[in-house]
Amino acid sequence: MARQDKKRDVVIVGLGWTGSIAGIELAQEGLDILALERGHDQNTVPNFEYPQQIDELKYGVRLKMMQKPSHQTVTVRRSGDETALPYRSLGSFLPGNGVGGAGTHWNGLNWRPQPEELRLRSHVRENWGEQIIPEGMNLLDYPVTYDEMEPFYTRFEKVAGISGKAGNLNGVIQEGGNPFEGWRSEDYPMPPLPTTWDSTKFQEACTAAGLHPFHAPAGIASTAYVNPYGMQMGPCNFCGFCERFGCYQYSKSSPQTAILDALKRMPNFEYRTESEVLRVELAADGKTATGVTYWDEKAGEEVFQPADIVILSSYQLNNVHLMLLSGLGEAYDPLTGEGTLGKNYAYQMNGGVTLFFEDDNFNPFVGHGANGVCIDDFSVNQNDFGALGFIGGSYWRSGTFNGQPIRSMPLPKGTPGWGAGWKEGIGKWYGHAMSIGSHGSHMSYANNHLDLDPTYTDRHGRPLMRMTFNWQDNDLRMNQYMKSQMEPLAASMNPTSMQSGFKDVGAQYDVRPYQTTHNTGGHIMSETPAEGAVNKFSQTWKAHNVFAMGAGNFVQNTQYNPTGMVGGLAYHTVHAIRTQYLSNPRPLV
């Protein structure tokens, strides 16, 4: 028999970015809140302290901050004909673990989608007609518009403490900002960070080519800053141990620096670590949840935790897994198109050029996770899909972000991978290379989806989630277009040599190299229960007291890193709970 604990108003599953936002905003309503986090507790002090944190092997390579596959993982196959095999050791994506989640060790690139990306199907229909949509692509509009989301993006950017320069203030284009972004009601909370040498070279080349460079919007403090919860940040010192690391000096935007200390001071909030939620329990009529069952690692027992409201904020993959296990919707069937859970899983399509300059010193270890200069000249709202033959776009960025030598040792083509030639190569080229990356959109397809694996189980005996995923021609064509545009720009910078890495049509998904932890979809938002798992307020269509947050809500992935949208949606959701749901709990749509 599971232990049963006293009922709470709200139980939060996972204490990363979205769980922290839900926690503090709902705690302000005076609700009795319990957050359950499967991982360990961690905070700037003592866990991210200098110098222990400055350890590439432990955090960058052995990934000690991340989800352990021995505890939780997925199986992967590239088509319905393949047998899915477990993702046994981390490679392609690195889900977070422990208090703060992946928000602790992300890069901090914080974007809002373009308005067109939130109504992409309509954008395509109005400009080119639906006949350009390839067969098998589940192209959708979001059930929220950019204008509705704008205040919530702004709110998240203030809380997280984002540095940047507006390109569009209330419709007026601003010099030095991104002219292709959606309108902003206010400028960024902090000015942009200083520009490193590689970004400067890129910026100059872009300007010379008539493109529109601007500073990457960074969840990295450029000045001293106090956010709306009274949390303080200090300016980043470009320590270079940023992506995959906790920040040792309160400069990277994270749940720890932006929310958690303020939240922990609230008497009506409690959190428990090493408490892994196993499933959401539904009432007999299946229309509401009664609470969650979790594994209390310290006590070594299952606990039933009753609650009036359940917030799923356990990251996209874990949310979808929990929803499949709990019957919070029907599993998606790609053959019939019926069912919604696991539908429209999407990812990110990236490529890039590495440039070698024998006489330049880039000091690649001087950087931060969101360093650099970007352009949006090849982004979704700039591309003529009809003429180009694909739907999508990308942003480009150049900026040092981790020059640690185990992982970052670009060498010119032809340099041996080992032996005397390799050793000579690292001596000659370390510090003399820079890169330009293309970070591109990824559409949703009937063939890319999530369900439960028939064979493999986790340590609790639950089926693992199965990912069916492969690259699709539309996105690969987009990537090749970026290559064709980026190579001439890179060549205009006159490098000693350069080389490209862009997946081409025919590329198969490889789980080994890191790509991004931007897994999206699977519990998508929709106008009607037939199309998605949650409504525009992230409320599950199945049980009105369950809200599922995070990038699982994305109908397809945008060209940007997801967290600006994830944070905006989290604020949009908690606003609806505060203003509409608490006074009258019911389906909000």
Partner 1 sequence: MTDLPGYPSRRSFLKASAAGVALSGLAASASAEEKTPPVPLDQYERQYLNAEEWAFIMAATARLIPSEGDGPGAIEARVPVFIDLQLAGDYGTADDWYMEGPHDPTAEPARGWQTPLNPAEVYRQAIPTFNSWCETTYSKSFADLDTAQQDEALTALQKGQAVLAPELRDFFTILLANTKEGYFADPQYGGNHGMQSWVYIGFPGARAAFREWPERHNIKYPLGPVSISGERA
Ligand X SMILES: Cc1cc2nc3c(=O)[nH]c(=O)nc-3n(C[C@H](O)[C@H](O)[C@H](O)COP(=O)(O)OP(=O)(O)OC[C@H]3O[C@@H](n4cnc5c(N)ncnc54)[C@H](O)[C@@H]3O)c2cc1C
Q: Which of 154, 251, 290, 383 binds ligand SF4 (CB under 6 A)?
A: 251
Cβ atoms 242, 221 nearer than 8 A: no
What tokens were used for 136? 């098998």
What is the footprint of ligand X within residues 486-545 (CB under 6 A)? 517
Residue 319's SS3 state is: helix
213 is a contact residue toward ligand X (CB under 6 A): no
Minimum gap (Å) between residue 10 Cβ and ligand X: 14
Cβ closest to partner 1, residue 357 vs residue 390: 357
Beta bridge partners, 502, equal 351
367: its two tokens: 């950087």
- The tokens for 458 are 């986790």
Chosen residue from 23, 39, 329, 568 binding ligand X by CB under 6 A? 39
17 interface partner picked from ligand X, ligand SF4, partner 1, none, CB below 5 to 8 A per type: ligand X
Tokens representing 296?
A: 């209390």
65 contacts ligand SF4 (rule: CB under 6 A)? no
Among 154, 256, 563, 573, contact with ligand X (rule: CB under 6 A): 563
Omega of the bond leading into 46 within 30 degrees of 0 (cis): yes
Selected binder of ligand X within 97, 257, 383, 559 (CB under 6 A): 97
Is there binding between residue 13 and ligand X (CB under 6 A)? yes
Task: Name the token pair of 403.
Answer: 């020059």
Q: Is 38 in the site for ligand X (CB under 6 A)?
A: yes
Return left, alpha or beta for 174; rule: phi > 0 is left, psi -120 to 50 is alpha, else beta.
beta
Sign for the pseudo-dihedral over CA of 569, 571, 573, 576: negative
Calculate Rg over the CA atoms of the chain: 23
Selected range binding ligand SF4 among 94-102, 169-177, 231-239, 347-355, rule: CB under 6 A: 231-239
Least distance to ligand X from the beta carbon of 210, Å?
A: 28
Strands 214-215 and 373-375: antiparallel
Q: Residue 110 or 203: which CB sits closer to ligand X?
A: 110
Does the annotation count 518 as an active-site position? yes
Closer residue to ligand SF4, CB minimum distance, 108 or 550: 108
Buried b (16+ CB within 10 A) or exposed e, 268-280: bbebbbbbbbbbb
Which residue in 10, 11, 15, 303 binds ligand X (CB under 6 A)? Answer: 15
Task: Give the one entry of ligand SF4, partner 1, ligand X, none that residue 87 binds, where binding means its C-beta sits below a cut-off of 5 to 8 angstroms depending on kind.
Answer: partner 1
Give whichever of 241 and 385 is closer to ligand SF4, judged by the CB atom.
241
Closest distance of CB 427 from partner 1, Å: 5
279 binds, options ligand SF4, ligand X, partner 1, none, Cβ within 5 to 8 A by partner type: none
The rounded distance, in Å, linking the Cα atoms of 305 and 291 is 5
DSSP structure class, residue 453? E
* Inter-residue contact 169 to 183 (CB < 8 Å): yes
Q: Which region, judged by CB under 6 A, interacts with ligand SF4, from 235-243, 274-282, 427-435, 483-491?
A: 235-243
Supply the DSSP string of 267-311, one letter for each residue. Answer: TTEEEESSEEEEEEEEPTTSSSEEEEEEEETTTTEEEEEEEEEEE
CB 110 to ligand X: min, Å: 6
Residue 33 main-chain phi, psi, to 5 deg: -120, 135
Exactly one of 123, 439, 518, 572 is catalytic; name it: 518
What is d(CA 135, CA 215) in angstroms, rounded to the nearest whole number?
37
109 binds ligand SF4 (CB under 6 A): no
User: Segment contacting ligand SF4 (CB under 6 A): 244-252, 435-443, 482-490, 561-569?
Assistant: 244-252
* Region from 81-89, 90-98, 173-181, 187-195 binding ligand X, contact rule CB under 6 A: 90-98
| Cα dihedral: 437, 438, 439, 444 (round 10) | -150
80 or 386, CB closer to partner 1? 80
User: Residue 225 belongs to what H/E stretch?
Assistant: strand 225-226
Number of other residues whose CB lies within 10 A of the CB of residue 87: 18
Judged by CB under 6 A, does residue 247 bind ligand SF4?
Answer: yes
Least Å distance, CB 82 to partner 1, is 9
450 touches ligand X by CB under 6 A = no
Is residue 425 part of the contact set for ligand SF4 (CB under 6 A)? no
Partner that binds at residue 501, options partner 1, ligand X, ligand SF4, none, CB closer than 5 to 8 Å by kind: none
Residues 6 or more apart from 164 whose CB is under 8 A from it? 110, 177, 188, 190, 191, 192, 214, 215, 216, 217, 218
CA-CA distance, 244 to 102, in Å (whole number)?
8
- DSSP string covering 364-384: TTSB-TT-SEEE-TTSGGG--
State which of residues 8, 11, 17, 352 lies at the interface with ligand X (CB under 6 A).
17
- Residues at the site binding ligand SF4, with contacts judged by CB under 6 A: 220, 236-242, 245, 247, 249, 251-252, 368-369
Known catalytic residues?
Answer: 518
- Residues at the site binding ligand X, with contacts judged by CB under 6 A: 13-19, 36-39, 94, 96-98, 101-103, 105-110, 243-244, 276-277, 313-315, 318, 369-370, 517, 550-551, 561-563, 566
